[in-house]
Structure 1
């Protein structure tokens, strides 16, 4: 009896995400929940911003994709990319607080993205445009310690868990407060 009561109390704090078939589908589901914890701008701190301070690993849900693709955004508009150590380069340009162009060069094989989520461990860009015409809707990056050891779904679960855990003390306080009020009302 006591075990069941503790299980029921702990149930809201357990992380039970459903199985998703694609990275895009999972990001669509979790973005509304975690968006409130995101940095608001790519420009806030200039060259000291998270975009430039963190080495980002690009995540992919393509079957059999095992390459660790490390992306380092440079203040001059260059992205240095190491694909399992083989070096490559791309470019980017920040357009305002929430928009960025990423591609081979500014106007060749490049796309406009909008900032969907940014913190010190996770970066998500959403491609601008009509979703019906877009094949790869998101660019999903994790910081190097996370992205080099986790798969895309494990990383997204970590993102949800990170902010779910931050809300837990308030939920626990609310629960205790409700119990105290119920006891006071009962004893009157």
Structure 2
């Protein structure tokens, strides 16, 4: 007798996408992201895939007459998506620094970061390697520090990113689409 569903085990780094706020979201697992909207752009290679974090903070409600809390009150929650972009490009620098300007010249491209207050929020998307899972993060701002290490040998320079999720107007923080076989 099987103890679980081996078809529900998720493997691989998947594929990351980025889009401007308000971009239409995928409604299924089969329509390519770029067909849902041309605004969905693949982020390319990452160093070690991506990580989604979600946490809830709480406080216990205590009374003098009980040893145990009589209730638990939720006080905040936070979500984030982190990854390290492995492609050193002006576009990825712009994404990691929440905007800025890219100017193409003769044989060169320059990037300058945005001024404080000019940061741009984005949407993020993720799709599993097997195409049976999609995540849409509706509003995100890159808040992680930027530290680019240059080392000898095959150790590549990467652009670290940690996008914190913000509550979008009239929507939840994120949406997950699963294949129906993963309903249980």
Q: TM class by shorter-chain length?
A: under 0.3
> Where is the helix percentage greater, Structure 1 or Structure 2?
1
TM-score, normalising length: structure 1: 0.23
- Ranked by relative contact order (alpha carbons within 8 Å, sequence separation 6 or more), the top structure is 2
